[in-house]
Amino acid sequence: MTNDRETKKSTMGGDEREYRRLAMTLAAVLFLGTFQLGEGELKGDYSKLSGIIIPGFASTQLRAWSILDCPYSPLDFNPLDLVWLDTTKLLSAVNCWLKCMLLDPYNQTDHPECKSRPDSGLSAITELDPGYITGPLSSVWKEWVKWCIEFGIEANAIIAAPYDWRLSPSMLEERDLYFYKLKQTFETALKLRGGPSIVFAHSLGNNVFRYFLEWLKLEIAPKQYIQWLDDHIYAFFAVGAPLLGSTETVKGMLSGNTFGLPVSEGTARLMFNSFGSSLWMMPFSKYCRADAMYLKHFSGGIRKGPNAYQCEQKEFHSNYSGFSTNIINIEIPSTRGIDAYPSVSEFSQTNYSSMECGLPTQLSFSAREISDGTFFKAIEDYDSDSKRTLHQLKQSYHDDPVLNPLTPWDRPPIKNVFCIYGVDSRTEVGYYFAPSGKPYPDNWIITDVIYEIEGSLVSRSGNQVEGNPGPASGDETVPYHSLSWCKNWLGPRVNITRAPQSEHDGSDVQVELNVEHHNEDVVPNMTRSPRVKYITYYEDSESIPGRRTAVWELDKANHRNIVRSPALMRELWLQIWHDIHADSPSKFVTKAKRGPLRDDDCYWDYGKARCAWPEYCEYRYVFGDVHLGQSCRLRNSSADALLHYV
């Protein structure tokens, strides 16, 4: 018989849960002592730390800040009513709902009849649409917060930094003073708790944090910039970061991406293209860079000049800007302007013989040609939205005075950087578009999709695909090429470890030490069991003094759900636990073994008729348990087991 892990609800009484929390907290106090900061190391009581969460795209609640009467619907919008995401109002009053969601595509102002603003606090990011049914379906950071509570983290130690994810980076500061407030959040956390913060960013939240670091250079004296970062930020955990953009953004801009909402693709496109942030996630070339308009040197001088956008020769020698294939393949209609978008009735009366005068032309575009505006200029006569896109691209991105976000990342100047993402899921990397004959926003249809799947390229239609597939695939939303860019941040020598995601005894752990790394992708020569999901760790063996960098690849971890992954949350907790221990012999937590850390990790082993992991778990019935697995709980002394991970 095989081991049968059963999902179980926590039925442990309040006294027992409180005992375990106190036991783990006391273990920290007894074994850790005082708080000190060394070179890239944290030693002391973890109660000094704060965790600041920067959520991703569409991961913050938006609330109405207007009174809007919705005709033909019993539901109106009043101040503080939930807008994103209230599925009830979306279904019953979609036109009203859209008024509260849409922004002016040119100046990012609100609709004249309704405006929305981001909610505040942890409740703004835990569940987007709270409710018995909709709550679990829209859960984002709720499981993350539950883990923190189970391990005794205080309420004021977890700080959410929600933002209006519809806005471009410059508008976040101009309208909401978001980056100024974020700076104050870090400074308040330091005064309140006496220690630096750990930044947890997901998806677009990583782009937001990158812009904050560049904005900070213009707010702090050059000689104090690095010191401010060292004092206020201990570590940066970049989860699912689209470091070179996401190809799925192109689909949203041209044909619409509903994200599972009960709206048409045309409506989704109309809404998405009104957001200034839609361009923030466009794919771009790793070979092209731009200087900021305001260049602040550490010598103290400030110089204003044009944004110089320059590409290496490799960009012109490679076909796909470093990606695995061309991102856009589009048929250009034979007619231009308004004639390219007849109404449905006009289209039905068209004499198809007229098409013989001019056949459509298929054009292909790389990531660079999308991000620099070449693609949108090419379809300007065929798509009424291209002028808006070009205006927004120049105003909010190419001419941004702080940073052109559509350029490759350098390693953030933070002591400890952990880049975490999912791999080997089927991910869209290219599209074939054709004119639909319908008016905007339904004027393009997708005729084929190119996917990357575990190191190969396939098309939805089965046609042969030309390209250069990478060694792995992405996380269903962001391609591997974009996610793995952070491997360039690793040092010249790297230690690679591959271990199962689930609890293990170390028998299936593979290690490669001191692998040479030359600012490129690192691919281990390791085996995989087809039924096991692994985590592959890439960790600095040699690095800049006082700096650590690690990359974690989680097999089959979905982009949107990775923040709810128990394996990820366990590894984060163990790494932080390792860092605060005063006698840690290594820079990173050991991967040799993983045992249960929570009651939910214990289960009944039917083959051996006992609780699995007997050194960690024991059978202890509590009134209300309905099956054997529920009665398997951690031993009272399991807090001591954490000492194996220092």
What are φ and ψ of residue 117, in 5° steps?
-135, 150
Residue 482 pLDDT > 60: yes
pLDDT band for position 637 (50/70/90)? low
The string of pLDDT tens digits covering residues 233-287 is 999 999 999 999 999 999 999 999 988 888 999 999 999 999 999 999 999 999 9
Q: Regarding predicted confidence, which is higher, 329 or 518?
A: 329
pLDDT in tens, 141-182: 888 888 888 777 888 889 999 999 999 999 999 999 999 999
CB 395 within 8 A of CB 355: no
CB 58 within 8 A of CB 249: no
pLDDT tens track for 531-581 = 999 999 999 988 778 899 999 999 999 998 999 898 999 999 899 888 887
For the record, the structure tokens of 339 come out as: 């004639």
> What integer pLDDT is reported at residue 300 of this predicted model?
43
Q: Is the pLDDT of residue 301 over 70?
A: no
pLDDT, greater one: 67 or 14:
67
Known catalytic residues? 203, 475, 518
| pLDDT tens-place string over residues 378-390 | 999 999 899 999 9
Q: What is the pLDDT of residue 120?
A: 94
| CB distance 161 to 52 below 8 Å | yes
Question: What tens digit of pLDDT does each residue of 611-632 get?
Answer: 999 988 999 999 999 999 999 9
For position 293, what pLDDT does the model report? 53
Report pLDDT for 269.
95
| Spans of all domains in the chain | 73-113, 247-294+309-340+356-410+423-458, 601-644
- In percent, how much of the chain has pLDDT > 90? 63
Run of H or E residues at 452? strand 444-453
pLDDT at 474 over 50: yes
In this structure, which amino acid lies at residue 523?
V
Query: What is the distance between the alpha carbons of residues 256 and 392, in angstroms, rounded to a whole number?
Result: 18
Which residues, 6+ apart, have CB-to-CB distance to 498 below 8 Å?
509, 510, 511, 524, 526, 528, 534, 535, 536, 537
pTM of this structure? 0.88
Residue 73: pLDDT band with limits 50, 70, 90: confident
Nearest partner of 634 among 533, 505, 503, judged by Cα = 503
